[in-house]
Amino acid sequence: MNSLELRAAFSLAFIYVLRMLGLFMIMPVMAIAAHKYPDYSLFLVGLAIGGYGLTQACLQIPMGVLSDKIGRKPVIIIGLLLFSAGSLVAAYADTLVWVVVGRFLQGAGAIAGAIMALAGDLSRDNQRPKVMAIIGVAIGFSFYIALLMGPVIANGYGLDGIFLATGLLALLCILLVLFVVPNAHNLAPKGDTLPVISDLKTLLVHPQLLRLNVSVLCLHMLITLLFVHIPRFFEKLGWPLVNHWQLYLIVLFTSVFGLTLIMACGRKVQQSTLMFASVIGLAVVFAALSLSTPTMFIIMLLVSLFFTCFNYLEANFPALVSSIAPAGKKGSAMGIYASFQFFGAFLGGLLSSSISQYWGSQWVFAMAALICIVWAYLIKGLRSTERLKRYTLKVDNQAAEQLAQQLAEFDGVEDLTLIRSEQVIYIKVDSRKFDIQRARKTLNLEE
């Protein structure tokens, strides 16, 4: 990567991390810290934890489309201002209802699509996967930082401190967007980064993509559901909030070790089998939690197993969406996927808090175990796509159709889409058969 691409990758990744920290740091502390509000209830706690997911889900695609009309940076700045405003509303809230309002407003800053599109605009075709990978790693890393930092900041400065800090960080991100993130000179083809409204209806009912969308909804519903209850379990077993980061650190190290073992098994076992086993592992966790209130050792063991399975599924789902999506429609497929993901977080908070308020946490965990069993049946139908790769190739508009026909006859080409307005051909190929160098030579794209 050149200096501009490195600068773009790390500055956008930093913006993403700071923003996601503000969303995630609340998860491990809200169930305990919210007791200070006079209108405390489990229902409002669940909304406060997962409420951001509803506005994220609703606005994820519209904000991405808007960025194509008015520009990436203006949409990112608008999103950060909304996020900062929501943080300040929650920071100065004197009731839990207003905290929930603040969380909904935080979620309205749905800038993931615009950030990814800008990253695409600032990178060359052959370097774009590296830039996206850096941002993707940063997103995952932000969740683990949040688990460790949230309890510490909440103990020292309360929920107000977390919200105030995240609001100020969002304003800092605006300065980064204005003065550090490079301005885009070349616009990347939109098909692999941005949603297209006309594609949504078809992709929503695509059988394989639908399985993945429902899967990520379930996954994020379950993690939000878990965090409505686990912090309270820790506290009941004698661990004050200030020490919860130590427990999460143990869980994270254990789950990384477990994930390493799963990845090692991946050399001998099919990916679909490992995903099925991971969903069954989640079912075991919630079934065990539903039977009785476990000891600290059992809770740590179960939460470690949960994160091992969660990490494996979370890492593999986006790659599957990218591989399964029709050529030229990856941006639309990922937009739908992200909307399901965030709606899952909202649904987890809503269901968990509603059911536990009236019937108790055991019924919540029993419901989660049942959902996992149904989900395991659903995920068995996923087809393996490990051999498929996708390329975006620039073409001369004058001879575009002729070149597309030539490419379609190449060995290994499974799907091809020509977008004349963008002067690109999107192809999905069997990597064992397709010769990319021959394709580039045909299109006069030798580097």
pLDDT at position 447, please?
Answer: 43
Of the candidate CATH numbers 3.40.1440.60, 3.30.70.100, 2.60.120.620, 1.10.10.10, the domain formed by 388-442 belongs to: 3.30.70.100
Whether pLDDT at 420 is above 80: no
**Crossing angle for the helix pair 42-50 and 52-70, to the nearest 10 degrees:** 20
Tell the residue number behind the tokens 């899967």, with chain if given: 215
CB–CB of 154/29 below 8 Å?
Answer: yes
Whether pLDDT at 186 is above 70: no
Q: What average pLDDT does the segment 365-378 reach?
A: 94
Compute the 3-state secondary structure of the chain and give helix, strand, coil in percent, each to the nearest 5.
75, 5, 20
CB–CB of 329/155 below 8 Å?
Answer: no
Structure tokens given for 99: 């905290």
Of all residues in the chain, the percent with pLDDT exceeding 90 is 36
CATH class of 1-188: mainly alpha
Structure tokens given for 381: 């139908």
Of the candidate CATH numbers 1.20.1250.20, 3.40.50.300, 1.10.287.610, 3.40.50.80, the domain formed by 195-386 belongs to: 1.20.1250.20
Most confident of 6-15, 88-97, 154-163, 236-245: 88-97
pLDDT at position 277, please?
Answer: 93
* Cα distance between residue 19 and residue 7, in whole Å: 18
Helix (H) / strand (E) containing 135: helix 128-179
Reported pTM: 0.87
Sheet with 413-419, edge to edge strand ranges: 388-394, 424-430, 413-419
* Cα distance between residue 443 and residue 407, in whole Å: 9
The boundaries of every CATH 3.30.70.100 domain in the chain are: 388-442
**pLDDT tens digit sequence for 247-286:** 999 998 998 898 888 888 877 888 888 999 999 999 999 9
Strand-pairing partners, residue 45, are none
Q: What average pLDDT does the segment 35-43 reach?
A: 91
Helix (H) / strand (E) containing 414: strand 413-419
The boundaries of every CATH 1.20.1250.20 domain in the chain are: 1-188, 195-386
pLDDT at position 415, please?
Answer: 77
Exposure string over 241-261, b if 16+ CB within 10 A, otherwise e? beebbebbeebbebbeebbee
Average pLDDT over all residues of the chain: 86
Q: What average pLDDT does the segment 109-114 reach?
A: 86
Length of the chain: 447
First-to-final CA distance of the chain: 15
pLDDT at position 398, please?
Answer: 67
Helix (H) / strand (E) containing 71: none
**pLDDT tens digit sequence for 321-348:** 877 888 778 888 888 998 999 999 999 9
